[in-house]
Structure 1
Amino acid sequence: MKPLGTVKPTSHVAVVGDLFPVEQLELERLRGKVVVIKFGGHAMVSQELKQSFARDVVTLRRAGLLPVVVHGGGPQISAMLERLDLAVHFEAGLRVTTPEVMDVVRMVLTGRVQRELVGLINAHGPFAVGMSGEDAHTMTAVRRAAWVNGEPVDIGLVGEVVDVNAETVRALLEQDRVPVISPVARGTGGEVYNINADLAAAAMAVALDAEKLVMLTDVEGLYANWPHSTEVIRRATAEEIEKLLPELASGMLPKMEGCLRAVRAGVRSAHILDGRVPNSALRGIVSGDAPGTTVIPDQEARVG
């Protein structure tokens, strides 16, 4: 990866002056580093939480970090499908995507959700630029199946990212922009695929040599013994997460799969955070003891 351009932070002390000293130190350490944030869950349907997230993103950029946002849009897609009287169906946590559903996915993600998020961020500073995985061949995908009870199930135009050409994203970062990316990708034959936003964010984090991958969701983190307990696993190695994958609920599975892929491919840490809490993105990124669940590489745990 070629080095990114010179970072031009503003006075981050004034911007985030209410942080604890350890958080200020982490903010300094992260200056010039890429952090990929997957924005989704309840935070996407609450106006207050969307505003909070937009402020967090601008705060991070003004402090000298290089945030990249990959957004979902599941609730908005489902709402539009219901309005159009099209079936809403999932297998293993993945949306079954017919050609008709794919048209709605593209329309909602890039035409509505992305535009709103770009506008919210730019209300606090002229940083955000919207794009999708289709643009400039940024993401290339192949068709994937869902696995149910050990058997593959056809789920239509749902893709698995097999290649990321991140040059356009890097160019935007060099221009002091915040890329806001919709998880839609092209196949090698020109077909368009719906990509799980968690896995798209993980692939982007790997391609950008990101320092951190952060996923905002609707729970406090990865529960140790769901549904019998709400105790959250605060820290886990990639090996520990891999052992848990077969037991995870469908909604948490792609998130932890994405975290696992990211840290095993060089991302220093991955975090599952509760997006229902205001400023969770900011606090989770700069906290030395981030709330939620943190996934680290196996070798880091051995060194520690």
Structure 2
Amino acid sequence: MDEVERQSEERGWATAKTLAEALPYIQIYDRETVVIKYGGHAMGETAVAKQFAADVVLLKLMGVNPVVVHGGGPQISAMLDKAGVKSNFIDGLRVTDRDTMVVAEMVLSGAVNKEIAHWISVAGKEADVRGIGLSGKDAGLLTVEKTTRTRRDPDSLIEHEVDLGFVGEPTKVDPKLIAGLIASETDDWVPVIAPIGVAEDGMTYNVNADTVAGAVAGSLNAKRMLLLTDVKGVLDKNGQLIRQMTVAEAQGLIDDGTASGGMIPKLQTAMDAVKAGVEAVVILDGRRPHAMLVELFTEHGAGTLVKA
């Protein structure tokens, strides 16, 4: 046996060992729903998008029911820049006037949504696993209300309301369409959802994708919700990854300032999702290859798990 054959045989044994070690976790997630929030700057990289799609297809083939909710902030910003429209942000939320809302819906429900669904369909072609692009406007999936924010004037200390425009918060998720796609006995669908919702008055609103993912996961009583981000998880005061925490501990990290900036809304989303019925939420680095598989099917996971 030459060196090439020997290395090939060793890889084969290593692969078999990995599959055997993953078996208990495969059984845990068999026929369970996992909601995946996919976002960040990595969405714009074709190679990363293809790898993400392949991992989603693998989850489906392993008996998991993946549901993808995606963002698209960088793509919206790029399109607004091309149109010469300046974006303003308040507390991390894009101030969305009518023209910006048109662009946001076009980018999210159009280019980004269909691209993700397409790559899933391509990756799952041989196994007949197909991505299907949706938005919160389809079949009354996501009902929202206008987001309200207040700010305190630093001089007068008087609080005043800030108008974010067409930015919404979920008030109701009707999961029948998603549940029907998951339960289909004739097709293997992977729902891909754009974070656009409709208010009771019929107006369309842009919604934070993390918030939508949490609301959808709660409505489906998901086994897990995976928040794919641009960081490896929640870090302690020494910069070390925290592997696991309770909702109460997560709130404590916010209160004492350990969690700051963009991590605060992610932890809040995780806490809200757990309170809504999701068994656990994991914040992990979506830029790392196969991070979802490592999280779900290995002993130590790949990020920070938040549970009740």
Q: What range describes the TM-score normalised by the shorter chain of this pair?
A: 0.7 to 0.9
Matched with 2:140 is: 137
CA distance in 1, matches of 2:96, 2:296: 33
- Out of 149, 158, 181, the residue aligned to residue 167 of structure 2 is 158
Deviation string 1:129-171 (CA, Å, 9 cap, x unpaired) is 1100011110100111245568653211111101000000011
- Equivalent positions of 1:197-276 (< 5 A) are 197-225=209-237, 229-246=238-255, 247=257, 248-276=259-287
Partner of 1:12: none
- Which structure is larger by alpha-carbon Rg, 1 or 2? 2
Closer/same/farther in 2, CA of residues 137 and 222 from structure 1, 3 Å limit:
same
Q: Counterpart amino acid of 1:26?
A: Y
Unpaired segments ≥5 residues, structure 2:
1-14, 153-158
The equivalent of 1:91 in structure 2 is 90
Cα-to-partner distance string for 1:74-121 (whole Å, 9 max, x where unaligned) = 110010011111111111111111111110110000110011111110
CA distance in 2, matches of 1:194, 1:154: 14
The superposition leaves residues 18-46 of structure 1 with CA deviations (integer Å, 9 ceiling, x where unpaired) of: 73544321112101000000001132122
Superimposed CA distance per residue, residues 224-253 of structure 1 (whole angstroms, 9 cap, x where no aligned partner): 23xxx4322221100111233354434222
Deviation string 1:195-215 (CA, Å, 9 cap, x unpaired) is 100010000000001000001
Q: What do the CA deviations read for 1:170-225 (whole angstroms, capped 9, x no partner)?
A: 11111221100000000010011111000100000000010000010001111223
Q: CA deviation at 1:17?
A: 5.5
Deviations 1:43-68 (A, max 9, x none): 21222211110001000001111000
Structure 1 length normalisation: TM-score?
0.87
Paired residue for 1:26?
25
Report if aligned partners of 1:199, 1:257 keep a CA contact under 8 Å in 2. no
Which of 195, 198, 203 is the equivalent residue of 1:183?
A: 195
Secondary structure, aligned partner of 1:277: coil
Percent of paired sites with the same residue: 38
Task: Give unmatched runs, 5+ long, in structure 1.
Answer: 1-15, 298-304
TM-score (norm 2): 0.86
Maintained 8 Å contact 1:30/1:65: yes
Could you tell me whether the CA contact under 8 Å between 2:144 and 2:205 is conserved in 1?
yes
Aligned 8 A contact 1:42 1:217 in 2: no
Task: Say what the alpha-carbon RMSD is for the aligned residues.
Answer: 1.8
Quote the residue 1:194 is aligned against: 206
